[in-house]
Structure 1
Amino acid sequence: MTNDAQEAFHPAPIVVLGVVPGDPPYRLVEINGEVAGPAYNMLDVIRLARQAGLTHLDLDDPAVVRWVGGGKYKWAP
C-alpha cells in the first residue's frame, strides 16, 4: 500500500456491529475503535455518539457510520 492510499483511507468513527440475538436483540456500537455500548435502536446509536462527543451524526453517510450485518433498519436477527 502506498502512502497516498494510506492517507486516503479514513475508517468511519462509528461502527454498528451485527445484531446480537437476545430479548431484546441489540447491536454493539464502536466509536473510534472502542466499544461504546449496546444499541437497541437508532436513537441509542445517536445517544452513544453524542456521549462520546461526536456531533456530526448523518446515519446515512458511510464516512460517519459503518453498518455491519445490515443497515440502520436491521434490529432483529
Structure 2
Amino acid sequence: MLSSEPPEVIVYPPIDSHRNVTVRGCYAGAAHRMADLLDILRRSGVDCDQIELTDPAVVEWRGGGPEVWE
C-alpha cells in the first residue's frame, strides 16, 4: 500500500461504549471491544493474521488507540 493511500480500516472515536468501523471506505460495523473489531474485519475480508492493527498505514485509530473503547 502506498503511503498516499488512505488506511484500509478506520476505527472512529467511542460513542455510547462502541466504535464504528469502516473498511475500504464502507461502514462495516460497531465494535465494543477488540474481539468485535477482529470479527468485523474478518467478515469484511481482511486477513487479521496478515495486518498489524497498530500500523497507521493500515488502521487509523481516531479518538484513541486500541486500548480505548469508552
Is the TM value for this pair above 0.5?
yes
Q: Please tell me the root mean square deviation across aligned C-alpha atoms, in Å.
A: 1.3
Count of residue pairs brought into register by the alignment: 67
Measure the CA separation in 1 of the matches of 2:4 and 2:63.
21
| Structure 1: gaps (5+ residues) | 1-6
Q: 2:39 aligns with which of 30, 47, 53?
A: 47
User: Where do 4+ consecutive residues of structure 1 move more than 4 Å?
Assistant: none
Higher strand share: 1
Q: Which residue of 2 aligns with 1:26?
A: 18
1:8: how far off? 4.6
TM-score w.r.t. length of structure 2: 0.87
Higher helix share: 1
Higher-Rg member (1/2): 1
